Structure 1
Amino acid sequence: MNFMATLTAVIASGLLVALGLAGNLFIVICNLFFRSSGQGLHLGDMLVTCIAVSTVILDLSAYLSMALFLLGGMCPNSNITMQINMFLTIAGISLNYWFIAWLCVYYCVKIVNMSSRVFIRLKQNISTVICCCLAGSVPIIIPISSAAFYIGMNDSNNSTTQNNSCPPIELMSSALGQVAMPLFVVQSIVALVLMMCSCSAIIVFLCGHIRQMQLSSPEIADSSQNLIRVAKMITVLALLYLFCTIAGALPVFIGQAAFSKEYFLVVDCMFSAACLGITVTLIAGNSSLRQKAQCSQQTWNFKERGRCLIFEKSCSDEVIFV
């Protein structure tokens, strides 16, 4: 890859990171500081905020890792700086997996109605159950993320080559493959199953619910439209997760990935685009965030129109004076 192509990819990825960072900061600020008086932060908003924070960690650490790799021309784990960034990147990915998965489960239990006593009991205690599940996810995240510190430390083959590329992943530490990769696969599969089952249950329930409502009234009520919007939000999040998992892990499993500039640029651009997609989806799918974004846009447009009017008035005054 020539210099101009590399520079273009770095700038494009940087713009995506900046947009994603602005959107995620907007989500965090709105959920934590700009709430109605007396209104607490319920679990759904808390999970959305956690997804935004983990997305910021993932976005910044992945971009910084790519920048350090391009500037240093070294293997990604040949110094402590790269190891820290790899740790944050893997931790951000894992946190995103579980936060999105439990958000899907949370909305599934809140939206779907069943006559089962077990399900009714689960619906009544869903906040406690989700918090316990989040706490149970930590023992899986820590070993996967911590393994980044030990990649290649005792592997003499993991060194910088003359053409600034690294050995294929299959030549790296066998301990990493025996510990981190199986846990990563289990984590990905479990999270994916939770997401897809929750999304499928919501879609099936809403199809039947809307069909029954249309028999009595052809127009869909606002409450049903909000449920449809939430279903679309978590479905898009699950699809983004599925795309990133397949696109990022497939080269590793087929043994064709190497830590080259091209591989790092492609993966980083993919993560930046996915993180921005997650941010846009969270804002568009949450009615409160969407309304605040629209109000912010209207306020910005009003201020811009005011500035233009002041500028036009000053220009006309200068013309009259002349």
Structure 2
Amino acid sequence: MADADIVQLGVAMIIIVFGCLGNMFITLVFSLEYRRSQTLQPYELIVMLMAVCNLGTELGYAAFFILYLLDLCTYTGETVYKIIHFFNIFLPKTVIWLTAWLCFVYCMKIVKVNWKIFLRLKQKLSLVVYCMIIGTLLLTILLSFPVVLFIKLKVNSTNICRDYYTVNEEKELTFIYTSLLSFLTSFLPLVLMLVSSLGIIIFLCQHTRHMGKNVTPTSTSHSDAHTSVAIMLLCLIALFIACAGTALSVNLQIATGQFDVQVAIALSTIIYSSGSPVILLIGTVKLRNNFSKLLCPNQKLLNYMKRLENLLY
């Protein structure tokens, strides 16, 4: 095992641990919220599913890094390798589509237009979200399954754990598959994210102009909340573009038989799955408040003591 592999494994595990903590916190907060109220808002359900999928992604890539960098795939066998790679495509691609749907749902909630289709979607938003989630799961499962057909451990190879794609025998099929995968699970979600976010930004700009004439405390607070949501979505999109750009270039290189960059796509994926909960935590009021309570459980007592000090002195 080379020194570079040790460094890569160490960096990957630090990112994974950090991401697991953030996604576990989000999952716990919304699980307790569901237990308390027996329901979740559409955006809360999407964020919770994102956290669950991110958590699964990090655990799957932790197993991948150990097998890949420590050359342990010969002990686990080809089947385990196929299962890990299936979930390492299925879960991250599901998260990407869920991020796109989150942008869409926020667009539905914030933007106000009198289009009939728009109004109908708003009225049945919960049902629409359930349909989107089911459709996303079916699509990503269908697109993730073919990867197992391209994996075959080559016993005669000097580097078995890193030379497992049968691209040399099926170059055209592999290129078509990776191109289709990138189009359906990277390009299309990105278009939806950008259109939804652009709609929110345009609406907020128009709303700010009207607010200049009639300024009330309530409208100002709503505008601030909507602005923070727009910033959160733009940060998620920026993180996605950075990670997806890396993944796209790596996918094309893998399709041509260059395997040394396989770690790069894994690192970009876990960076996204670990970075997105931080953005969601900062941009979502409920998560931010729960995190503040976790850091300062006796906040009420501290506020009371400060007031008492002010009265005494």
Which bin holds the TM-score, normalised by the shorter protein? 0.7 to 0.9
Q: Percent identity?
A: 23
**Counterpart AA for 1:265:** V
Listed one character per residue, the Cα deviations across residues 236-266 of structure 1 (whole Å, up to 9, x for unaligned) are 2222222222101113325566223xx2433
Q: Greater shift after overlay, 100-109 or 214-223?
A: 214-223
Pick aligned residue for 1:187 from 181, 185, 188: 185
Measure how far apart 1:299 and its partner are. 2.6
Q: Is contact 1:140-1:187 (8 Å) kept?
A: no
- Cross-structure match for 1:305: none
RMSD: 3.0
Inter-CA distance 265–152: structure 2 relative to 1 (3 Å threshold): closer
Q: Is contact 2:151-2:164 (8 Å) kept?
A: no
Listed one character per residue, the Cα deviations across residues 133-187 of structure 1 (whole Å, up to 9, x for unaligned) are 222223321222211221144xx9x666335653887525354444564244223
Write the mapping of 1:32-47 to structure 2, written as runs, cut at 5 A. 32-34=31-33, 37-38=36-37, 40-47=39-46
1:258 aligns with 2:258: yes
Any stretches of 5+ residues in structure 2 without a counterpart?
301-313
Measure how far apart 1:24 and its partner are. 0.7
Write the mapping of 1:60-139 to structure 2, written as runs, cut at 5 A. 60-72=59-71, 79-139=78-138
- Cross-structure match for 1:290: 288
SS state at 1:171 partner? coil
**Counterpart AA for 2:259:** F
SS state at 1:299 partner? coil
Distance 2:228 2:37 in 1: 26
Measure how far apart 1:72 and its partner are. 1.6
**Counterpart AA for 1:14:** M
- Cross-structure match for 1:309: none
**Counterpart AA for 1:30:** V
Inter-CA distance 71–38: structure 2 relative to 1 (3 Å threshold): closer
Distance 2:128 2:113 in 1: 18
Inter-CA distance 183–6: structure 2 relative to 1 (3 Å threshold): closer
SS state at 2:212 partner? helix
Pick aligned residue for 2:158 from 162, 185, 197: 162
- Cross-structure match for 2:50: 51
Measure how far apart 1:228 and its partner are. 1.0
- Cross-structure match for 1:145: 144
Q: Greater shift after overlay, 275-284 or 293-302?
A: 293-302
Write the mapping of 1:282-321 to structure 2, written as runs, cut at 5 A. 282-299=280-297
Q: Is contact 2:9-2:69 (8 Å) kept?
A: no
Distance 2:95 2:156 in 1: 31
Q: Is contact 2:229-2:283 (8 Å) kept?
A: yes
- Cross-structure match for 1:211: 209
- Cross-structure match for 1:18: 17
**Structure 1 length normalisation: TM-score?**
0.81
Listed one character per residue, the Cα deviations across residues 35-74 of structure 1 (whole Å, up to 9, x for unaligned) are 6954731111000000001111112212211210112276
Q: Is contact 1:166-1:258 (8 Å) kept?
A: no
Q: Is contact 1:202-1:231 (8 Å) kept?
A: yes
**Counterpart AA for 2:280:** L
Measure how far apart 1:274 and its partner are. 1.7
Inter-CA distance 134–167: structure 2 relative to 1 (3 Å threshold): closer
Count of equivalent residues: 295
**Counterpart AA for 1:286:** T
Q: Is contact 1:160-1:166 (8 Å) kept?
A: no
**Counterpart AA for 1:91:** F
Give runs of ≥4 in structure 1 deviating > 6 Å: none
Distance 2:111 2:21 in 1: 33
**Counterpart AA for 1:297:** L
Distance 1:132 1:246 in 2: 29
**Structure 2 length normalisation: TM-score?**
0.83
